[in-house]
Amino acid sequence: MSAAGPNALYGAPSPQALYDEAYENYRAYLNPPLARVMKLSGSPVEVRASGTTIWDHAGKAYLDFAGGYGVFTLGHSHPRVVAAVREQLERMSLSGKTMFDPLVGRLAKRLAEITPGDLAISFFANSGTEAVEGALKLARAATGRTKVVATQNAFHGKTLGALSVSGRDAYKAPFAPLLADVVHLPYGDSAVLASALADAAAFVVEPVQGEGGIVVPPLGYLSAARAACDASGALLIADEVQTGLGRCGMLFGCERDGIVPDVLTLAKGLSGGVVPIGAYVARRTVWEAAYGRAPLLHTSTFGGNPLACAAALAALDVLRDDDLVRSVHARGRRLLQGAHRIAAAYPEVVREARGLGLLVGVELRSEGYAGTIVPEMLKSGVTAAWTLNMQRMIRLEPPLIVTDAEIDTALAALRAAVEVARERLGDLNGANVTEHSRAST
């Protein structure tokens, strides 16, 4: 019997049969090229997960440092969240929509209490991109303006509005024309904000760029954005889908600069990794200006459903009761320092390591290395992933409950994988970086 238990094979006669079936279905019915890439990378079939660990079809355990790209802040299947969802599932799983639902109201109140300043009114959806979509519509309706300012290499999602404010051309070109009147500014550059924001509806910005390659802006960048928005009347939308709820060592990334945005978006970790959810929380005056007389302008059938709300309320309880955010700085420092040591030891392969809290990235000198390092880490039993807009960046984004020992295990896997990449691929840059860096130290 595998570590995954007797029922974990979903009716397949053997682990290999389950793998073959899953691969074949992906290849034939889901996404043929992606299926092939996953197969080449050695991706197994996931069958069970708990805490920081995922088990595959053959019973092998993996430390999850990809972390669902930030979903699993509490780890997988947190028992308090699962229990809350199970109870709600038996009571009433989806809303009938014509009556008040107590949980969605309770969750909205809770978000008003924990988000910065006077953020007060929530809208719920089912994903991050829907949260951003809602925020963009809110900004246009509230200000009566159309222009939206965003940042280069940002990632806000893949629906048309969120894609329009995202920064990677390769994801956008096949769908052009996207939203008109969108301007992209260099991320982290305060000097360009004031002029660009004149007559804009909004400035949408990640407190740390996640998919753009784990880019931490200079301190003061969000304060400058706040001041520029105040001067121009543009709304400041902080996209905290990835940075929110403790990931960066504070409950919300915008606390780093002590600012209050006009709209804050959330998703990923909000429901403890158990039921999908997305949300924005807006200032009351902003929401009133947009929807005060038109409450049905922006709605969602499944958004804020009772299962997701039960999960989110329980997840927020766990975050508070277990004081999870407090340990993030220390754990993140351990992870980042270890990544720095690997960068220093293998300068031919690693350009630099950077991050904030438990959002850490290792930037390689070439995408080619990532194609070896991620699968090699997987072989050693650690998941990692590249970032969507920068595929030479290996992200390490474990659950906030990760232990020091698990961090050391992941770092050892990373070091071994980098070593394999160097041996196998040599110096992909054509320059002898080792000699160069020796000369410069």
Ligand X SMILES: Cc1ncc(COP(=O)(O)O)c(C=O)c1O
Q: How far is the CB of 257 from ligand X (least distance, A)?
A: 17
Bridge partners, 235 (sequence order) = 202
- Near ligand X by CB under 6 A: residue from 56, 64, 206, 376: 206
63 vs 267 by CB, closer to ligand X:
267
Calpha distance 52→64 (Å, rounded): 6
Site string for ligand X, 126-145 (x = CB under 6 A): -xxx--x-------------
Distance CA 212, CA 285 (A): 32
Binding map of ligand X across residues 257-276, x = CB under 6 A, - = no contact: ----------x---------
Q: How far is the CB of 239 from ligand X (least distance, A)?
A: 5
Torsion of CA 66, 67, 68, 69, to 10 degrees: -70
Does residue 153 touch ligand X according to CB under 6 A?
no
Calculated CA dihedral for residues 134, 137, 139, 140, nearest 10 degrees: 180
Nearer to ligand X by Cβ, of 52 and 129: the residue is 129
Q: Interacting stretch for ligand X, rule CB under 6 A, among 151-159, 351-359, 373-381, 425-433?
A: 151-159
CB of 282 to ligand X, least distance (A): 16
Q: How far is the CB of 303 from ligand X (least distance, A)?
A: 13
Residue 239 makes contact with ligand X by CB under 6 A: yes
Between CA 262 and CA 281 the distance in angstroms is: 8
What tokens were used for 292? 């005060």
Q: Which residue in the set 46, 58, 61, 69 belongs to the binding site for ligand X (CB under 6 A)? A: 69
Cα–Cα distance for residue pair 363/341, rounded to 1 Å: 13
176 Cβ neighbours under 8 A, 6+ residues apart? none
Contact (Cβ atoms closer than 8 angstroms) between residue 130 and residue 292? no
Give the number of other CB atoms < 10 A from CB of residue 6: 7
Print the binding letters for residues 20-59 with ligand X: x by CB under 6 A, - otherwise: ----------------------------------------
Closer CB to ligand X, residue 52 or residue 151? 151
With CB under 6 A as the rule, give the number of residues binding ligand X.
15
CB 306 within 8 A of CB 101: yes
Please select the residue that binds ligand X; options are 238, 241, 308, 310, rule is CB under 6 A.
241
Q: By the 8 A CB rule, do 259 and 116 touch?
A: yes
109-120 b/e (C-beta count within 10 Å ≥ 16 → b): ebbeeebbeebb
Residue 155 binds ligand X (CB under 6 A): yes
Residues in contact with ligand X by the rule CB under 6 A: 69, 127-129, 132, 155-157, 206, 210-211, 239, 241-242, 267
